[in-house]
Amino acid sequence: MVHALRGIWRVLAGRGILVDLRPLSGQCPIELVSASTVVHIGEVDATGMAADDAASDRAVQDAVTQGHFLARQDSQFDFDLYWDNVQEMASFMGSSRRMKQVRPSYADLEKAYLVLSAEGPERVRLRCRRRTTLAVYRKADDSKFEY
Amino acid sequence: MASELDPDGVESRILLQATDFSNARVLEVGSGDGRLALRYANASAFVVGIEPQETELATAVEACASHLRQRVSFLRASALALPFRNETFDIAVLAWSL
């Protein structure tokens, strides 16, 4: 990560902007969503890369502490992922490095999905909300990153 | 694959509010399938997305609409060895990649 930041610092113009955008590790709610209803039915454990995230945080913090970048802004928002059915969701989770463990089981999620779908003609989808962070830094004018 | 990622475009809206992309030369590190870069490309001078994975890169190139091709390019590269001269970009976006 330090090498990546050093390279980015090099290719940024003076007072250039670095934006670090990534999801936060943690539990993400799974909901059933229709036009009229939102029902919480479970959670995804999205802590699969917590150690990597912590290392990234340290690398950025070190770059700031050493004066290579100046912190300008930090904000958070929800990044929504939607699936049309439980099978699509399971397929996505199978290929995700960050999101693995789903609670309750896919079978239980499927039951909840079928129950809500049977209540009316509205389209029902699954939604997972990922808390995401966006941090903005400015390349410091007078820093010298060795590379 | 998810049916839809961020269908309301919250991510790109917050990104565009966070800094001024107008006339900016933008490097996106970890551009993946181009989903994010293609959403903000119109606001910038040009965007170069780098992505180490060939399949993702191919998806990004294919997803790039013809009217954006003058302004957006996707390259196979890693943040660990950026193939650019010093001070080439005004903005670097680390998109889920640090």
Q: What is the tally of structural domains in chain A?
A: 1
Residues of chain B above pLDDT 70, percent: 96
Average pLDDT of the residues of chain B:
93
Range of the domain at A40: 2-139
Joined together, the tokens standing for residue A76 give 């958070």
Residues of B in contact with A73 (CB under 8 A): 18
* Tokens, residue B20: 């001024």
pLDDT per residue of chain A (147 residues) written in tens, 0 to 9: 778 899 999 999 999 999 999 999 899 999 999 999 999 999 999 887 888 888 888 999 999 999 999 999 999 999 999 999 999 999 988 888 778 789 999 999 999 999 999 988 889 999 999 999 999 999 998 777 765
Q: How many CB atoms lie within 10 A of CB B7?
A: 12
| Inside any domain, residue A97 | yes
Cα–Cα distance measured from residue B82 to residue B29, given in angstroms and rounded to the nearest whole number: 9
Peptide bond into B83 cis (omega under 30): no
Quick one: pLDDT at residue B2? 54
Of 3.10.520.10, 3.90.1200.10, 3.40.50.150, 3.30.9.10, which CATH number belongs to B14-94? 3.40.50.150
Domain boundaries of chain B, sorted by first residue: 14-94
**Maximum CA extent, chain B:** 39
Task: Assess if residue A145 is contained within a domain.
Answer: no
A contacts of B4 (beta carbons < 8 Å): 81-82
**Quick check: B92 and A8 CB within 8 A?**
yes
Global ipTM = 0.93
Half-sphere exposure of A79 (CA within 13 A, CB side): 21
Chain segment B37-69, per-residue pLDDT in tens: 999 999 999 999 999 999 999 999 999 999 999
- Among A80, A71, A28, A23, which Cα is nearest to A50's? A23
Instruction: Identify the pLDDT of residue A146.
Output: 64
Cβ distance A11 to B84 less than 8 Å, yes or no, reads yes
Q: Check residue A144 and give its pLDDT.
A: 75
Nearest chain B residue to A136 by CA distance is B18
User: Residue A132: what pLDDT?
Assistant: 95
CB contact under 8 A, B18 and A136: yes
Q: How far apart are CA A140 and CA A134, in angstroms?
A: 19
Q: What distance in Å separates residue B98's CA from the closest CA in chain A? A: 6
Residue A144 covered by a domain = no
